[in-house]
Amino acid sequence: MKKPSSIPIYKVMLVRESGLSASEKEITNPKIAASIARDYLDGCDREHFIVLLLDSRNRVTGINTVSVGSLSTTVVHPREVFKPAMLANANSVIICHNHPSGDPWPSPDDNEMFRRLILAGELLGIKVHDAIIIGDVEHYSSQSGVTFTLPS
């Protein structure tokens, strides 16, 4: 006779760690998203990859640090990007990371990662509005470079 085994039962939840003051929570253009990301990443000496979680009116409902890397790279997997988005019932996301070198321009690896995350988001029904790279002082780059339109 086979001995019964135990099957784990999990409770999945999102835990709020803290908060971030922001003058604007509604993202209508890349500059606002970059400002929020810059405030969150202020003082980071290594590359951090974060995701801004947005509701259906493009308001930031949360920020999650997906990965912390080295001075010039961080490892990002789509499941880690979209896990907090799914748990928070996000309608869409903006992905962001910093370049501690100060140069905000995307590398070929950055461009490929952005492409992969857009495809993964399409499969999950979570739109990736933009990929923002934070450089030094007020410099940033935006993959979309477009103004966000709010749903009617």
The torsion region of residue 123 among left (phi > 0), alpha (psi -120 to 50) and beta comes to alpha
Q: How far apart are the first and last CA of the chain?
A: 63
pLDDT for residue 151 is more than 60: no
Asked if residue 83 belongs to a domain, the reply is: yes
| pLDDT digit string, tens, across residues 93-131 | 999 999 988 888 888 999 999 999 999 999 999 999 999
- Structural domain tally of the chain? 1
DSSP state of 97: E
| pLDDT digit string, tens, across residues 87-103 | 999 999 999 999 988 88
Domain with 96, as residue range(s), is 31-69+77-142
- Please state the pTM of the whole predicted model: 0.85
Residue 125 makes CB contacts below 8 A (sequence gap 6+) with none
Q: What CATH number has the domain bearing residue 90?
A: 3.40.140.10
Asked if residue 4 belongs to a domain, the reply is: no
DSSP state of 100: T
Give the tokens for residue 105.
Answer: 């321009």
